[in-house]
Amino acid sequence: MTGMKKILAIIFYFCLFISPSNSNDIDEFQLDGINIGQSLLELVDKKYIEAEKYYAYENKKMFQVPFPNQDKSSKYEGFQFSIFENDKNFIIESVEGFIFMKFTKCKDEMKKVSNDIRYAFPSLKTSFKPFQKSDDGTVYAYNNFYITGGHSIRVICTDHPKKLEEDFGYEDNLRVVINSAKFNNWLNEESFKP
C-alpha cells in the first residue's frame, strides 16, 4: 500500500467511529454528532427516556437509556446513554455507540479503531485490558484512552457465550464509548454500591 493510500485508509477508519476536533477537550469528541455534556432531550423526548430507562448497576444514581439507531447513514446500529437520576436536564455523562459483528471481526476492528485514535492523538495516555472472561462467560477486552480532566474513550470488543445469545438475544459487538470524568468517578467509586 502506498503512503497516500495508507493515510487515506487511516483517516477513513478513524472517521467511521469517532469525530474529534481537539485531543484535549472532551466536549469535542463525538459519536455521530453526539457529545457528553449534551442534553438527551435534544435527541429524544422525556416520555421516551422515562419509558426506556433502566439501571445497569446496583447503584441507582445513574440510569441508562438504549436507543436503536434508525439512521441508515449512521456508523452505529445503536447507542446507550448514561444519565444521573436527579438530573432534570438529562445531561449525557456517557455515550456508547455499538455495531454488531462476529467476535473475530470485532477483534480486528478494535485494533484498527484503537490504532487510528493513537495515530491521530499520540499524546493521549492509554491502557489495554486483555481478553478475559466474566462470571457469565462473556469474553471482552478494551482499550482506554485518557483525556485531560479524567474523561476517557473506550474501545470494547465483546463475545457473548452461546447461552446468552440464545436465551437473551445478546450479540457480539464493537463499542466505542465516551465517558465524562463525572461518570468515570461514579463508575469506579459508587456503581456497585447499592
Q: Dump pLDDT digits (tens) for 5-29.
A: 333 333 344 444 555 444 456 666 7
44 has a pLDDT exceeding 80:
yes
Whether residue 95 is contained in a domain is answered as yes
Using CA atoms in the order 84, 86, 89, 95, what is the torsion angle rounded to 10 degrees?
Answer: 10
* Number of domains into which the chain is organized: 1
Per-residue pLDDT at 65: 96
Give the CB-side neighbour count of residue 15, counting CA atoms within 13 A: 6
Q: What is the pLDDT of residue 25?
A: 60
Domain membership flag for residue 102? yes
Would the pTM count as exceeding 0.75?
A: yes
Q: What are phi and psi of 149, to 5 degrees?
A: 95, 5
Residue 161 lies in a domain: yes
135-162 average pLDDT score: 86
> By the 8 A CB rule, do 33 and 166 touch?
no
CA dist 87 and 172 (Å) reads 32
127 is a domain residue: yes
Cα separations in angstroms, 43 against 47, 85, 87? 12, 18, 16
pLDDT in tens, 90-106: 999 999 999 999 988 99
Task: Check whether 42 has a pLDDT greater than 60.
Answer: yes
Q: Cell numbers of 130, please?
A: 486483555
State whether the Cα torsion 181-184-186-188 is positive or negative.
negative
Q: What is the pLDDT of residue 47?
A: 96
Please report whether residue 133 resides in a domain.
yes
Please report whether residue 79 resides in a domain: yes
Burial of 48 (0-12, 13-18, 19+ CB in 10 A): middle
In a domain, 194, yes or no: no
For residue 150, what are the domain limits?
Answer: 3-189
